[in-house]
Structure 1
Amino acid sequence: MEFQDVVRRRRMVRNFDPRPVDPAVVTRVLGNAIRAPSAGFTQGWSFLLLDTPEDVARFWEAATPPGRGVDTWSRGLRRAPVLIVPMSCKRAYLDRYAEPDKGWTDRDESRWPVPYWHIDTGMATLLMLLTATDEGLGACFFGIPPERLETFRAAFGVPEDQTPIGVVALGHRAPDRPSPSLRRGRRGLDEVVHRGRW
């Protein structure tokens, strides 16, 4: 598929066919993620791969607030046979920039204008979404409810210095209705590009 086609076709898929995904494709998705740019070539990301029915079920049990159960929002997502949880690590960036070629030995977090650990992990996540589209698969990025993060961490032994930035559901697309959010329409370049001055 041509790159422009991949970009145009990429969208969040919320309904999946439960057929398994070829492990070689999952490897390609993750392999492309680690090609993302990262500040200082820190590469402070990690990815929790959940690709067995047991692990996927355990994720939903850990990440679903009590009493919520299967709702219309999550019903189709729960059929995705693969979940990838991208995580960022602030410590890796503070350590990296304290190395001699960077020289911020005080590890002062205020030197960072924005949290690049999250941004870099987000860029890696976008490469996963684009790769899924290129492979003819569907993918959806969604968040773990904040009140369920500790339960998720405990269920999968996630260290405290790893911050889940969300989850990528990956699988074969099933028919679904477009999200009502799409009614808002895509903002045009004339609305978002400010040439030379705001």
Structure 2
Amino acid sequence: MEFQDVVRKRRMVRDFKADQPVPRDVIDRILHNATRGPSAGFSQGQAFLVLEGEDLAKFWALRPHSNGVHKAPLLIVPFAAKHVYLDRYAQPDKGWTDRDEARWPVPFWHIDTGMATLLILQTVVDAGLGALYFGIMPDDVARFRELYGVPDEYEPIGAVAIGYSDEPQQSGSPTRRKRLPTDEVVHYGRW
């Protein structure tokens, strides 16, 4: 598929076909591509939890959904690891001698993990599948960590449900709101 087609076709899917697993080679490609995202100082401070089968059923018991997203056969939870970035930038080739978080203009560990997540979403489209990115609610994070043994230094930035779409057309907010015109959000030279 051409890249422009991937960008054009990428959307959030909220209903999936039941009992149609994602092939292992596609899962491997999705995860490989996620690791190809940029990271400040090549810190590579992301991790991914892959949930299928019984492990995935436990997740949905933790966070039930009323729509068809729970039928997705695959869930990938991307994690940001701030400590990896702070450690990396305290190394001699980066010029800082401490792990002071105040040096960072924005939390690149979240931004880079978001970019890895977008690569997941784009690879899903390229593979002919659908996906939904959604947040893990703050009240659910402690139970989620305990359920899957996630270390405290890894922060889930959300989850991506993946599978074969069972939606005949677009759903969600784009059905009620139009995309902003490019000339309203892009500014050349000055605002």
Asked if Structure 1 and Structure 2 have the same fold, meaning a TM-score greater than 0.5 normalized by the shorter chain, the answer is yes
Once structures 1 and 2 are overlaid, which stretch shifts more, 168-177 or 88-97?
A: 168-177
Partner of 2:136: 144
Which one of 184, 187, 191 corresponds to residue 194 of structure 1?
187
C-alpha displacement of 1:188:
1.4
Please give the alpha-carbon distance, in whole angstroms, between the structure 2 residues aligned to 1:84 and 1:180: 21
TM-score w.r.t. the length of structure 2 is 0.96
Question: Is the counterpart of residue 154 in structure 1 residue 146 in structure 2?
Answer: yes
Amino acid aligned to 1:128: I
User: Do 1:15 and 1:176's aligned partners in 2 also have CA atoms closer than 8 Å?
Assistant: no
C-alpha displacement of 1:178:
2.8
Please give the alpha-carbon distance, in whole angstroms, between the structure 1 residues aligned to 2:180 and 2:131: 22
- Render the CA deviation track for 1:156-177: whole Å, top value 9, x for unaligned: 0000000000001011111255
Amino acid aligned to 2:72: A
Please give the alpha-carbon distance, in whole angstroms, between the structure 2 residues aligned to 1:119 and 1:111: 16
Which one of 105, 119, 126 corresponds to residue 111 of structure 2?
119
TM-score w.r.t. the length of structure 1 is 0.92
Which one of 179, 184, 189 corresponds to residue 177 of structure 2?
184
User: Do 1:16 and 1:77's aligned partners in 2 also have CA atoms closer than 8 Å?
Assistant: yes
Please give the alpha-carbon distance, in whole angstroms, between the structure 2 residues aligned to 1:89 and 1:104: 19
Give the SS at the match of 1:48: strand
Partner of 1:32: 33
- Render the CA deviation track for 1:102-130: whole Å, top value 9, x for unaligned: 02112110110100000000000000000
Number of aligned pairs?
189
Partner of 1:16: 16
User: Do 1:14 and 1:77's aligned partners in 2 also have CA atoms closer than 8 Å?
Assistant: yes
Q: Percent identity?
A: 59
Once structures 1 and 2 are overlaid, which stretch shifts more, 22-31 or 172-181?
A: 172-181
The list of structure 1 runs, each at least 4 consecutive aligned residues, that deviate by more than 3 angstroms after superposition, is none
User: Do 2:80 and 2:113's aligned partners in 1 also have CA atoms closer than 8 Å?
Assistant: yes
Please give the alpha-carbon distance, in whole angstroms, between the structure 1 residues aligned to 2:16 and 2:73: 8
Partner of 1:45: 46
Give the SS at the match of 2:93: coil
Partner of 2:76: 84
Structure 2, unmatched stretches of 5+, are none
Amino acid aligned to 1:57: A
- Render the CA deviation track for 1:40-89: whole Å, top value 9, x for unaligned: 000100000012x2011111122x2xxxx542xxx311000000000000
